[in-house]
């Protein structure tokens, strides 16, 4: 059961989405420019959260095919791979494909391509710890079973949730399992945005400046089963994206 505050926040999000749909101006150069801008910000922030030192401007330059002196090959590949992963999820949204373990492995394989090919798209064979978190991911022997249960939940109970809540929970519960040796955070944010895009919502960009709040909210969800703080963080991120769209489209009606 969602709190009244969360329900109000979701209602506000849905009102803004409806307003944009009624405006019916999702095509054109301005919208393409906005989507490109948001994708660059998504790539930059998602990588920066994990320690990539490329700036937003440098990330954009790397996406244009230019190498940045003094930066590692890995940092360059993280940008290039993330762009490819976004293009991949956009295509499977277009093809109306469902989330599955196979698709999750495909997305993760793109994230780690050329960085750690041995572990790309392969469930971990060792135990891991999350730096700074109280939560300890399950033993690696339990990962296949828990991932199967995760997808079963997604196909059953998950369908009963509001799409935004489902997307946020997909992110949080995936990270809780931490099925891969590396790249779990980036993959989780890709999975969340896949779910949002599939259901007609804009992407949520978790900003580097919110890294502490983000990790804190995730750890709270994992250790106490209280997801509210994390849900609110995701909803605020979606609303920020919606406000970009409203501004660009010139929608005048207040919401």
Q: Which of 12, 25, 11 is nearest to 251 (CA)?
A: 25
Record the pTM.
Answer: 0.94
Per-residue pLDDT tens for 148-175?
999 999 999 999 999 999 999 999 999 9
pLDDT exceeds cutoff 80 at 134: yes
- Phi then psi for 201, rounded to 5 degrees? -105, 155
Per-residue HEC secondary structure of 137-191 comes to CCCHHHHHHHHHHHHHHHHCHHHHCCHHHHHHHHHHHHHHHCCCCCCHHHHHHHH
Q: How many residues does the structure list for the chain?
A: 255
Per-residue pLDDT tens for 45-90?
999 999 999 999 999 999 999 999 999 999 999 999 999 999 999 9
Please give the pLDDT value at position 34: 79
Cα(207)–Cα(229) distance, rounded to whole angstroms?
A: 16
Residue with tokens 């064979």: 125
Contact 206, 217 (CB under 8 A): no
Which residues are known catalytic residues? 178
Please give the pLDDT value at position 245: 84
Record: fold of 25-249: Fic-like fold (1.10.3290)
Please give the pLDDT value at position 247: 82
Average confidence (pLDDT) over 188-211 = 96
Burial of 244 (0-12, 13-18, 19+ CB in 10 A): middle
Contact 177, 123 (CB under 8 A): no
Cα(101)–Cα(117) distance, rounded to whole angstroms?
A: 18
Contact 139, 192 (CB under 8 A): no
Structure tokens at 49: 């959260």
Average confidence (pLDDT) over 180-200 = 97
Please give the pLDDT value at position 255: 45
Average confidence (pLDDT) over 206-223 = 97
Cα(248)–Cα(30) distance, rounded to whole angstroms?
A: 7
Cα(17)–Cα(25) distance, rounded to whole angstroms?
A: 12
Binned at pLDDT 50, 70 and 90, residue 253 comes out as: low
Per-residue pLDDT tens for 75-132?
999 999 999 999 999 999 999 999 999 999 999 999 999 999 999 999 999 999 988 8
Please give the pLDDT value at position 27: 55
Average confidence (pLDDT) over 188-217 = 96
Give residue limits of the domains in the chain. Answer: 25-249
Contacts of 23 (CB under 8 A, 6+ apart): 249, 251
Cα(67)–Cα(90) distance, rounded to whole angstroms?
A: 26
């Amino acid at each position: 059961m969602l709190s009244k505050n969360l329900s109000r926040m979701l209602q506000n999000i849905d009102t803004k989405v409806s307003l944009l749909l009624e405006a019916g101006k999702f095509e054109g150069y301005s919208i393409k420019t906005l989507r490109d801008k948001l994708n660059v910000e998504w790539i930059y922030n998602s990588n920066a959260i994990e320690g990539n030192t490329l700036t937003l401007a440098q990330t954009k330059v790397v996406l244009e095919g230019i190498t940045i002196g003094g930066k590692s090959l890995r940092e360059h590949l993280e940008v290039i791979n993330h762009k490819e992963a976004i293009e991949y999820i956009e295509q499977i949204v277009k093809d109306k494909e469902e989330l599955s373990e196979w698709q999750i492995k495909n997305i993760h394989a793109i994230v780690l391509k050329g960085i750690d090919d041995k572990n790309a798209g392969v469930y971990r064979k060792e135990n891991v710890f999350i730096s700074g978190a109280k939560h300890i991911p399950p033993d690696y022997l339990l990962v296949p079973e828990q991932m199967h249960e995760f997808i079963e939940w997604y196909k059953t109970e998950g369908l009963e949730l509001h799409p935004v809540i489902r997307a946020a929970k997909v992110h949080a519960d995936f990270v809780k399992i931490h099925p891969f040796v590396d790249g779990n955070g980036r993959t989780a944010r890709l999975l969340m945005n896949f779910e949002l895009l599939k259901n007609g919502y804009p992407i949520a960009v978790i900003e580097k400046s919110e890294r502490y709040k983000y990790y804190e909210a995730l750890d709270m969800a994992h250790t106490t089963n209280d997801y509210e703080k994390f849900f609110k963080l995701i909803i605020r991120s979606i609303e920020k994206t919606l406000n970009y769209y409203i501004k660009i489209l010139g929608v005048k009606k207040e919401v």
